[in-house]
């Protein structure tokens, strides 16, 4: 594998290359295989996926070299410089909304396990959607749902991963950040990472449909950044302090507040770790 920052490590995304790598993984064994749409520049891969969701097959992946309006949870801007990161959105069709609890956490597990396979140590998942390394943001996850004409849900799973951010671009990021190339001796090509990510998601999603998040809870626990930490829960303009106790089988964050365990759901709160270091 090429060294971080070399032309091969940051080579342009190429669908033929990605598909060739998928064939090496055993793409034919997947129940639903991914297909790819690549843009040089786009407003947002999630936005593009939502626009086309009604006419697109499950497993379709939107990729871009650059986003002009990348976004994270709660509409926060996601800095998206050209050819420096992965901007990835996969569409999947589900039968019921009720079975989707914890899906964003399961997607996070897939991303974190991929990073570990690449040699990135100290990967952590901060509930509900942040991918961290050494307390700095390495990536993020944004899930958005759209109902089909038959009343069943389609979900777009957006994943952004910092691969090798140019210093000038990185100065515009307003929070502690890091990238893959800062944590590995040899950085895989983005084509390799995309192929691995798409394959892993297409393996995970049928399992999630069958058993929900409970089947992934133990794997989440391995990466849980907040468990055992004092946290501030921010909701409806007020704040509460509590102790994070991990997650429930439905993906809810469990927090002890005034000696009572509360279940916190992603649509209701933001969580900020309070660490002494």
Whether 240 is catalytic is: no
Whether 137 is catalytic is: yes
Q: Which of 40, 148, 152, 272 is catalytic?
A: 272
Q: Which of 73, 126, 190, 217 is catalytic?
A: 73
Question: How many other C-beta atoms lie within 10 A of the C-beta of residue 41?
Answer: 11
Whether 219 is catalytic is: no
Q: Which of 21, 137, 190, 217 is catalytic?
A: 137
Closest CA to 107 of 155, 157, 145: 157
Query: Mind telling me the catalytic residues?
Result: 73, 137, 272
């Amino acid at each position: 594998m090429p060294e971080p920052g070399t032309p091969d490590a940051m080579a342009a995304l190429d669908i033929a290359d990605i598909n060739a790598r998928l064939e090496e993984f055993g793409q034919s064994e997947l129940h639903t295989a991914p297909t790819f749409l690549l843009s040089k520049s786009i407003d947002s891969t999630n936005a593009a996926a939502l626009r086309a969701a009604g006419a697109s097959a499950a497993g379709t992946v939107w990729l871009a070299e650059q986003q002009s309006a990348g976004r994270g949870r709660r509409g926060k801007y996601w800095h998206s410089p050209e050819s420096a990161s992965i901007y990835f959105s996969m569409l999947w069709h589900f039968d019921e909304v009720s079975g989707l609890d914890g899906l964003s956490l399961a997607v996070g597990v897939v991303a974190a396990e991929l990073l570990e396979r690449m040699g990135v140590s100290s990967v952590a998942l901060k509930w509900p959607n942040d991918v961290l390394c050494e307390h700095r943001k390495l990536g993020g996850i944004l899930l958005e749902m759209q109902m089909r004409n038959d009343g069943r849900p389609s979900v777009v799973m957006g994943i952004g991963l910092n691969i090798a951010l140019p210093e000038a671009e990185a100065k515009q990021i307003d929070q502690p950040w890091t990238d893959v190339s800062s944590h590995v001796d040899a950085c895989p090509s983005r084509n390799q990472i995309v192929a691995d990510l798409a394959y892993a998601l297409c393996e995970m999603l049928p399992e999630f449909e069958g058993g929900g998040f409970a089947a992934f809870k133990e794997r989440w626990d391995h990466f849980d950044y907040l468990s055992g930490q004092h946290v501030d829960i921010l909701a409806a303009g007020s704040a509460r302090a509590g102790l994070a106790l991990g997650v429930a089988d439905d993906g809810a964050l469990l927090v002890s507040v005034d000696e009572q365990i509360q279940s916190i759901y992603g649509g209701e709160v933001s969580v900020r770790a309070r660490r002494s270091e």
